[in-house]
């Protein structure tokens, strides 16, 4: 059974993964000496990661999917509680990543390793988090939620046609700026 909201969550996970992969690739190219650091571009990528998944995606999961599943499955409770705690830690994790980028900007080349470490930690956490949702929560949701539950959840996820556009297209404009600035293979910009 395919559920629109689960498809949307999966698509949003893939979009986040692509942005994280792009940022990781950019930093690897800097480390290898193929690119010079573009701090504005990296800050924009971090801003996108913060504004979309942390401010749009996670709150919808908490308020709709997790809230309904919490009512229907005792088995899901410890997983939901862990995921919700991780969502609450999102601001602090983003602050750590932004601080590491700022330290890199201030310190120059000697700050690269600290930023790489913070980025690696963030990416590993996000992968684990998304995998937990897709491999543990999705099957439990498919098993325990009713058609009425799905109608409620799907309506919430579909109400905002494309949350990745953001208010007045702000997120879409940020994404376009990133793609046009970032060098290949991350984006279309020059290197």
pLDDT in tens, 111-135: 999 999 999 999 999 999 999 999 9
pTM: 0.85
Average pLDDT over residues 132-159: 93
Total count of residues recorded for the chain: 191
**Alpha-carbon span 6 to 121, nearest angstrom:** 26
pLDDT value of position 19? 85
Nearest to 83 by CA among 95, 98, 97, 65: 65
Average pLDDT over residues 54-71: 90
Q: How confident is the model at residue 190 (pLDDT cuts 50, 70, 90)?
A: low
pLDDT value of position 1? 46
**CATH architecture group of domain 4-181:** Up-down Bundle (1.20)
Average pLDDT over residues 66-93: 95
pLDDT value of position 162? 57
Three-state secondary-structure class, residue 160 = coil
Q: How confident is the model at residue 164 (pLDDT cuts 50, 70, 90)?
A: low
Instruction: Give me the percent of the chain exceeding a pLDDT of 90.
Output: 57
**Alpha-carbon span 17 to 21, nearest angstrom:** 6
**Alpha-carbon span 59 to 118, nearest angstrom:** 24
pLDDT value of position 80? 97
Q: How confident is the model at residue 186 (pLDDT cuts 50, 70, 90)?
A: low
**Residue 168 pLDDT greater than 80, yes or no:** no
Which range is least confidently modeled, 4-13, 68-77, 151-160, 175-184? 175-184
Contact status, residue 138 vs residue 6, Cβ threshold 8 Å: yes
Q: Which pLDDT tens digit goes with each residue over 27-50?
A: 999 999 988 999 998 998 898 888
């Amino acid at each position: 059974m395919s559920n629109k909201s689960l498809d949307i969550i999966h698509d949003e996970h893939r979009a986040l993964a692509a942005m994280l992969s792009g940022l990781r690739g950019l930093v690897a190219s800097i480390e290898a000496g193929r690119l010079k650091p573009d701090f504005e571009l990296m800050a924009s990528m971090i801003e996108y990661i913060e504004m979309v998944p942390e401010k749009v995606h996670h709150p919808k999961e908490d308020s709709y999917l997790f809230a309904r599943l919490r009512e229907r499955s005792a088995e899901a409770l410890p997983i939901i509680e862990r995921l919700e705690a991780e969502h609450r830690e999102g601001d602090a994790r983003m602050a750590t990543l932004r601080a590491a980028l700022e330290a890199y900007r201030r310190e120059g080349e000697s700050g690269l390793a600290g930023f790489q470490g913070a980025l690696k930690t963030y990416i590993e956490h996000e992968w684990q988090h998304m995998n937990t949702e897709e491999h543990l929560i999705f099957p439990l949701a498919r098993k325990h939620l009713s058609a009425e539950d799905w109608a409620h959840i799907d309506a919430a996820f579909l109400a905002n046609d494309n949350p990745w556009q953001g208010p007045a297209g702000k997120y879409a404009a940020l994404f376009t700026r990133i793609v046009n600035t970032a060098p290949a293979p991350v984006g279309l910009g020059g290197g």
